Amino acid sequence: MRQLQEGIDFYYNAEGLMVLTEKYHRERGYCCGNGCRHCPFGYQNVPEPRRSKLLAERDRDKSEKG
C-alpha cells in the first residue's frame, strides 16, 4: 500500500481531523459506508436515513456555492 500524500489524498479540517479527498476515494474504488465528506459514489453503502440526509446536505452545499 502506498503512503498517503497530504494535499492530494487527504487534508486536515479546521478541527484537526484528517479528511480523505475525492481522488483518494476514486482510487479506492468503492463506498465504505461511513458517509465520507468527499464520497464520489453517492453514499451507496451508507444506510438510510443517514444516506438521504447526507445527499440533501451535499445538494444544499452545491447550490450555495454555485
Is the pLDDT confidence value at 62 over 90? no
C-alpha cell at 45: 453503502
Q: Beta partners for 12?
A: 18
Distance CA 17, CA 63 (A): 25
Is the pLDDT confidence value at 1 over 80? no
Hey, where are the domains in the chain?
10-65
Instruction: Give the pLDDT band of residue 33 (cuts 50, 70, 90).
Output: very high
The mean pLDDT of 24-48, rounded to a whole number, is 97
DSSP H/E element including 57: helix 50-65
Rounded to 10 degrees, what is the CA torsion of 28, 66, 49, 9? 20
Q: pTM value? A: 0.83
pLDDT at position 23: 97
